[in-house]
Amino acid sequence: MQFKGRTVFAFVVLTIVTSVFVTIIVTDKLEGKPANASMSHVSAATDAKTELTEDELKRINSVIELVETKYVSDIERNELVDGAISGIMNALGDPYSVYMEKEIASQFSQSIEGSFSGIGAEVGMENGQTVVVSPIKGSPAERGGIIAKDIIISVNGDSLAGLSIQESVNLIRGEKGSKVKLEIKRSGHSEPISIVLIRDDIDIETVYSSIDEQGIGKISITQFSMHTAERFAVELAALEEKGLKGLVIDVRNNPGGVLQGVVEIAQLMMKEGSVVVQVEDRAGKKEKTYAQGGEQKEYPIVVMTNGGSASASEILAGALQESAGATVLGQQTYGKGTVQVSFNKVLSDGGLIKLTIAKWLTPKGNWINEKGVTPDIVVEPNAVYSTAPLNVTDELKVDHLSEQVRGLQIMLDALGYKVDRQDGYFSKQTETSVKAFQKDQQLLNTGIVDSKTAMKLEEKVIEYIRDDQHDVQLQKALNQVGRK
């Protein structure tokens, strides 16, 4: 499933994560020392140069002096310094190694704690483009129809071409209650998709659980923040007290988070001494993290994944798949197999450097970077879950051909109205189905999709998607644990 609920209308509340939020070792204000003791060997090379030479300093100072004295406009020196630091990070060619100015760094720290502002989508840089890693499950961005791998090409008409991740995020961010119009490029769509969202502040709960009358439980993890492991342990214990007979763990559209948190969650369901994850440093030295204090569960476990399951989500899926006998079900995951450290005392002004310092490997030593974790059981969601919201500026009617019409046909089909094609050509059968829908919704029965019909279609599609009975991946997962 790509998202649970969506809309393009102004009443929707939306948020965005303000930085690249991927597998992280939180330094907890240590200078260059990972907080996780088991990762202590992963550090900078001891032979690294620590100071710039006189010639290197002279080159940098000469450029700054030239700009300050000759550039056509006045510019603050701190802007030049920020630009220089950003340039150093950009030179790495690594989308996960970034410099964050003080304000962005502060909001990044808030996101790790589980609360932040924006539209609820994890974004990163790929080939110079601002790409959605994943909308956070249950977030307004997810409800707005944003999915993993969407490329944001403009914000309120301003192109993001050539901008850094921080510059892009600065455009997407804004005051609570303000609108933001995103132009999205999506695979399979020849035309850009326009989505209007409303910004807001949110405080995210990262763990949700439920259990049915057959004793089949489900725990959804939306991201791995500082307190997620503790919350997961509480919810799992509560389900087990209720007679848990099988468990579905849902990490779809979970962009990742704190490494230590996912280790603590995984080892709850693994035999003592089992390998949870391996980390390989720049010298090729590997260190294994072993499960402690947990136990292999007697009940079956299924982990649900999709293309928005990244980083720490992939660590969990890989660990349980290879070391605990769990079944991974759904779609191929994102494929993010590196580890970052946040250095928040290197810079004296409150800025932050997030730097890739290692690779992570599955228990059996597989590096899933740019490949992802392969599900044991592949289950594709209904096409309506990834269909772009209708943005009807011109009425849709017979003989029209467009991506909007294709989306309309997919929606009608999901809602039970017969369509003879889903290729974007507005056929007579499509018109008949539109008329049937309009009649059922007490709309003017014209067979033409105007703004009122589009709005009602969106409303009904949201209801459809929010009904777990239509979530084919979830239903397959529940059946899978129920059969074992």
* 3-state secondary structure (DSSP) of residue 438: helix
Q: How many residues are listed for the chain in this entry? A: 484
Residue 219 pairs in a beta bridge with: 209, 249
Contacts of 114 (CB under 8 A, 6+ apart): 203, 204, 205, 206, 223, 225, 226, 227, 228
Across 32-101, the runs of DSSP E, i.e. the strands, are: 98-100
- What six digits make up the tokens of 32? 């260059």
- HSE (CB half, 13 Å, CA atoms) of 11? 2
Query: What 8-state DSSP symbol labels residue 269?
Result: G
**Class of residue 396 by CB neighbours under 10 A (exposed 0-12, middle 13-18, buried 19+):** buried
Closest CA to 207 of 291, 268, 272: 268
Return the amino acid letter for 298.
E
Q: Is 418 in the active site?
A: no
> Active site residue: 117, 223, 313, 340, which one?
340
Q: Pick the catalytic residue: 297, 336, 354, 359?
A: 336
Please, which residues bridge with residue 125 across strands? 130
Say if CB 64 and CB 80 are below 8 A apart. Answer: yes
Half-sphere exposure of residue 335: CA atoms within 13 angstroms, side-chain side: 11
Cα–Cα distance between 355 and 98 in angstroms, integer?
Answer: 7
N- to C-terminal Cα separation, the chain: 23
Give the span between the Cα atoms of 113 and 263, in whole angstroms.
Answer: 17
Q: Own/partner pairs for 110-113, CB < 8 Å, 24+ apart?
A: 111/17, 111/18, 111/19, 111/21, 111/225, 112/21, 112/24, 112/26, 112/225, 112/226, 112/257, 112/258, 113/225, 113/226, 113/227
Half-sphere exposure for 364 (CA within 13 Å, toward CB): 11
The position carrying tokens 């439980």 is 217
C-alpha–C-alpha distance, residues 83 and 149, integer Å? 28
Q: Is 336 a catalytic residue?
A: yes
Catalytic residue, chosen from 139, 166, 311, 473, is 311
The full DSSP string for 356-422 is EEEEEE-TT----TTT-PPPSEE-PPPGGGGPPPP--SS-B-TT-BSHHHHHHHHHHHHTT---S--
Active site residues: 311, 336, 340
